[in-house]
Structure 1
Amino acid sequence: MSESTQTTAFELIGGEAAVRALVDRFYDLMDLEPAYAALRAVHGATLDDARDKLFWFLCGWLGGPQHYVERFGHPRLRARHLPFAIGIRERDQWLACMRQAMAEREIEPALAQRLADAFFNTADWMRNQGG
């Protein structure tokens, strides 16, 4: 299969509508589930900006439209997250919340595992606290 005909994770998930639904479920869970309280506490009073930014970012990260880059330039994820205390607990809650959202949105299991592995690498790199 040539590079130009490879199916992206963005396409496998179902495009923009499916990415939006995943992001919305992720933030709904963060807002509702006590298990994600430490993660929710890192965010502001409203999750609206975070919802949009994660949606825009994930579209491009998954191989779809580069909405985030078009609006803000290079993601510079670690630099943009330095003002927030992110330790092992926040990392693990982010990952658990995303795994739950992927399961509830019925992302195909092999793709969900591939994404979970990639999310772990990024989330672990984002840590700026020991615990």
Structure 2
Amino acid sequence: MVVPNIDHSYYDMLGGEAGVRTLVDDFYDHMQLDERFAGIRAMHPQDMSTSRDKLFWFLSGWLGGPPLFEEKFGHPRLRARHLPFSIGESERDQWMTCMSDVMQKSTLSVEARSALIGALFKTADWMRNKDV
């Protein structure tokens, strides 16, 4: 994960635990309400509370905060954990658009937001396991 500077992690810049939780909840709320994200919404269970928690736990550590996901489950092994799902460019782009949309409400500077979106894109692109 790219850290914007040595004084503050993205975790801190987003407002710590409460800020990351808000980002995750806004992401899943947006996914659920916006038809543009129907493809990735269909990959989730009806009750997305576990999905919300897992993304929060993962992002907590990935953004420079407490490594909650690793404490609970060990190494994230993101690609391996996502292999059961068919993920191509469309799914990557839906995920990124949804996350980018909700990040516009964050307290991050334009520069930090742009850098974080770039880092998230690299990770989302790495999740692809089909060509289209």
Instruction: State the match for 2:68 in structure 1.
Output: 67
Residue 39 (structure 2) aligns with: 38
Aligned to 2:113: 112
Paired amino acid for 1:47:
M
Scaled by the length of structure 2, what TM-score is found?
A: 0.92
2:10 touches 2:64 (CA, 8 Å); kept in 1? yes
Pairing 1:39-118 to 2, within 5 Å after superposition: 39-118=40-119
Conserved? CA contact 1:23–1:55, under 8 Å: yes
| Separation (CA, whole Å) in 2 of partners of 1:95 and 1:51 | 16
**Matches of 1:109 and 1:88, distance apart in 2:** 25
Instruction: Specify which structure has the higher proportion of helix.
Output: 1
Aligned to 1:14: 15
Query: Matched residues in 2 for 1:130 and 1:45: separation?
Result: 27
* Gapped regions of structure 1 (runs ≥ 5): none
State the partner residue of 2:3: none
Distance 2:39 2:115 in 1: 25
- 3-state DSSP of counterpart to 1:95: helix
Question: Structure 1 residue 13: deviation in Å?
Answer: 1.1
The 8 Å contact of residues 60 and 67 in structure 2, kept in 1 or not, is answered as yes
CA RMSD of aligned residues (A): 1.1
- Alpha-carbon distance in structure 1 between the residues aligned to 2:91 and 2:68: 26
Q: CA deviation at 1:129?
A: 1.2
- What percentage of residue pairs aligned between the two structures are identical? 52
Q: Equivalent residue for 2:123?
A: 122
Read off the aligned partner of 1:82 and give its amino acid letter: L
**Is the Cα contact below 8 Å between 1:31 and 1:40 reproduced in 2?**
yes
CA distance in 2, matches of 1:100, 1:45: 22
Compare 23-32 and 5-14 and name the one that shifted more: 5-14
Q: When the two structures are aligned, how many residues end up with a matched partner? A: 127
Q: Give the Cα–Cα distance (whole angstroms) in 1 for the partners of residues 51 and 113 of structure 2.
A: 21
Is the contact made by 1:21 and 1:105 (CA closer than 8 Å) also made in structure 2? no
Q: Distance in 1 between matches of 2:38 and 2:50?
A: 18
The Cα of 1:44 is off from its aligned counterpart by 1.6
Cα distance in 1 for residues equivalent to 2:10 and 2:44: 27
Q: Which moved more, 1:100-109 or 1:85-94?
A: 100-109
